[in-house]
C-alpha cells in the first residue's frame, strides 16, 4: 500500500498524559503544531484521505482538548499482521478514569500503556468487585475505523455495575472513552482483513477495603490489543465437550453480568477439556443438568431446518452483543429464531451448531461429545454458520451497507 500524508486536526475528549512508568517515552500527540510528524515505525502504510479524527469537542469535557493542527504520515505498527493470534500485544495508550463511592465519573485521561498500582486491600483483589467488557474496532479499505455497537457495551456495563454495587460511566462517557483510546492507538488497528483491534474496558473496585464491603474508590480503564482468531482453528469447526458436573453459573448469581469471577470459574473444566484435545466446554444448567447454557465465553446456537434456537436469557447466561446481533441478522435473512430452553437432546439431533461472541464472532461447531458419545455436524463449515458469519463480518468491516445503524465510524 502506498503512503499518503494526512493533514489532521485532533480533538480528544480527555487530556493525554504520559505515564510515570514510561518517563522516556514521548506522546506523538504532544509535538508542537509547527512540527511535521511522521511515524516511521514500519513499512506498513494505510492510505488515508484528509480527515478529522474527532472534529467536535466532547460535551463531557469541553476543556480537555488538544486541537493544534499538524501534518501526519500514518503508518502501521511494525508487527507481523499475517500471524496475529488472540494474545496481548502491548500498544501505546490506555484510558483511566476514577470515581469515589457514591460519586460519579467525570474526567479521564489517556496514559502510556503500562502497569497500574493497586493497594493490596483493593476491592478487586480481595473480593472480586470488578467487571469487564469486550468489543472490536476494524479498519476499512479507505483507512477509516469502525466500532461495532459500543453503546451496547456501555449499557451492559451499567447493568453489571448495579449488580456488583459499583458506580458506572454513562453510556456517553463509555463510548467517548472508547473512541479516544482507539484513536490514540490507531496505528495498532490491523489492515483490512488482517484482524481487529480488541478493546477491553475494565471497571473495578480499586480503593482499599478490609471488611467485606463495596470499595471506596473505582477505576474505569480501557486498554487495546490487535488480535486475530480466538480459536486456533480460525473459522474451521471447533470440537466441544459437554460438562455435566461443574457449572458456570447458578440462578440468582452473577452469570448474567460480565463480572470477572464468572471466567475464573470455567478454567478448571476448560483446561481439562483442552488437555483431551477439545476446543472448549459447553455447560448445562445446574438445576436439571439438561438444558444448554453457554460455552466458556460464547453463546450457543442450534440449527434444525429453518429454525435457529438459542438458550433464553434467564439470569445465568450472559446477554451477548454478538448473540443479539446474530439473532437480528438471522431474522433478516429469513430464519425463524427461538429464544427458549434448549435441551441437550436437541443439540445432539441438530443439523448445525455454532457459537457467537465478540472474540470469536461466529464459530462453527464440528462435533459435540456428551457422556462419551461424539456427534459430528458435517465435514466443514455449516451453510448457516457461513451465511451469518459473512453477513455480520461484512457489516462490521464496512464492506456492506449498515442498514442496522450498528457501526460508529472514526474518521
Are 111 and 153 in the same domain? yes
Query: For helices 150-163 and 321-332, what crossing angle results, to 10°?
Result: 130
Are 184 and 311 in the same domain? no
pLDDT (tens place) for every residue of the chain, 411 residues total:
433 333 333 334 444 443 333 333 333 333 333 333 233 333 344 443 333 333 333 333 332 332 233 234 468 999 999 989 899 999 999 999 999 999 999 989 999 999 999 999 999 999 999 999 999 999 999 999 999 999 999 999 999 999 999 999 999 999 999 999 999 999 999 999 899 999 999 999 999 999 999 999 999 999 999 998 876 666 789 999 999 999 999 999 999 999 999 999 999 999 999 999 999 999 999 999 999 999 999 999 999 999 999 999 999 999 999 999 999 999 999 999 999 999 999 999 999 999 999 988 999 999 999 999 999 998 889 999 999 999 999 999 999 999 999 999 998
Are 101 and 216 in the same domain? yes
Radius of gyration of the chain, Cα coordinates, nearest whole angstrom:
22
Active site residue 258: yes
Residue 61 lies in a domain: no
CATH code, domain carrying 111: 3.30.470.10
Q: Which of 318, 319, 375, 315 is nearest to 344 (CA)?
A: 375
Q: What is the pLDDT of residue 231?
A: 66
Q: Which structural domain, as residue segments, surrounds residue 369? A: 238-397
Q: Which of 136, 258, 276, 373 is catalytic?
A: 258
How many folded domains does the chain comprise? 2
SS3 326: helix
Q: What is the pLDDT of residue 23?
A: 34
Pick the last residue of a domain from 227, 255, 275: 227
Are 133 and 223 in the same domain? yes
Are 191 and 315 in the same domain? no
Cell of 278: 477439545
Are 251 and 219 in the same domain? no
Are 146 and 178 in the same domain? yes
CATH code, domain carrying 328: 3.20.10.10
Q: What is the pLDDT of residue 411?
A: 82
Question: Residues in the chain, how many?
Answer: 411
Amino acid at each position: 500500500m502506498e503512503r499518503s500524508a494526512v493533514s489532521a486536526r485532533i480533538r480528544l475528549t480527555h487530556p493525554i498524559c504520559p505515564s510515570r512508568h514510561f518517563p522516556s517515552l514521548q506522546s506523538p500527540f504532544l509535538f508542537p503544531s509547527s512540527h511535521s510528524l511522521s511515524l516511521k515505525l514500519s513499512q506498513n502504510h494505510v492510505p488515508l484521505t484528509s480527515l478529522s479524527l474527532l472534529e467536535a469537542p466532547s460535551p463531557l469535557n469541553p476543556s480537555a482538548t488538544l486541537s493544534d493542527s499538524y501534518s501526519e504520515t500514518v503508518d502501521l505498527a511494525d508487527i507481523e499482521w499475517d500471524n496475529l493470534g488472540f494474545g496481548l500485544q502491548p500498544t501505546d495508550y490506555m484510558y483511566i478514569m476514577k470515581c469515589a463511592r457514591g460519586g460519579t465519573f467525570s474526567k479521564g485521561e489517556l496514559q502510556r500503556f503500562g502497569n497500574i498500582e493497586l493497594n493490596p486491600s483493593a476491592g478487586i483483589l480481595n473480593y472480586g468487585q470488578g467487571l469487564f467488557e469486550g468489543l472490536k474496532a476494524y479498519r476499512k479499505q479507505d483507512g477509516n475505523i469502525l466500532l461495532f455497537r459500543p453503546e451496547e457495551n456501555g449499557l451492559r456495563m451499567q447493568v453489571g455495575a448495579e449488580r456488583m454495587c459499583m458506580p458506572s460511566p454513562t453510556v456517553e462517557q463509555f463510548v467517548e472513552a472508547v473512541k479516544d483510546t482507539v484513536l490514540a492507538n490507531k496505528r495498532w488497528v490491523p489492515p483490512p482483513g488482517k484482524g481487529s483491534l480488541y478493546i477491553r474496558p475494565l471497571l473495578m473496585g480499586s480503593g482499599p477495603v478490609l471488611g467485606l464491603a463495596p470499595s471506596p474508590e473505582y477505576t474505569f480503564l480501557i486498554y487495546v490489543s490487535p488480535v486475530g482468531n480466538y480459536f486456533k482453528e480460525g473459522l474451521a469447526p471447533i470440537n466441544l465437550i459437554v460438562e455435566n458436573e461443574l457449572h458456570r453459573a447458578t440462578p440468582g448469581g452473577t452469570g448474567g453480568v460480565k463480572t470477572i469471577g464468572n471466567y475464573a470459574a470455567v478454567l478448571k473444566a476448560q483446561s481439562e477439556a483442552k488437555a483431551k484435545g477439545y476446543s472448549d466446554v459447553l455447560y448445562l444448567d445446574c438445576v436439571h443438568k439438561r438444558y444448554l447454557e453457554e460455552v466458556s465465553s460464547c453463546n450457543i446456537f442450534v440449527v434444525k431446518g429453518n429454525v435457529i434456537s438459542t438458550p433464553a436469557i434467564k439470569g445465568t447466561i450472559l446477554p451477548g452483543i454478538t448473540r443479539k446481533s446474530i439473532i437480528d441478522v438471522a431474522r433478516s435473512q429469513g430464519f425463524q429464531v427461538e429464544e427458549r430452553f434448549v435441551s441437550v437432546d436437541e443439540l445432539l439431533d441438530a443439523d448445525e451448531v455454532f457459537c457467537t461472541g465478540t472474540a470469536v464472532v461466529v464459530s462453527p461447531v464440528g462435533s459435540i461429545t456428551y457422556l462419551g458419545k461424539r456427534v459430528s455436524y458435517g465435514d466443514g463449515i455449516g451453510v448457516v454458520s457461513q451465511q451469518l458469519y459473512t453477513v455480520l463480518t461484512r457489516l462490521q468491516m464496512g464492506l456492506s451497507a449498515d442498514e442496522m445503524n450498528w457501526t460508529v465510524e472514526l474518521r
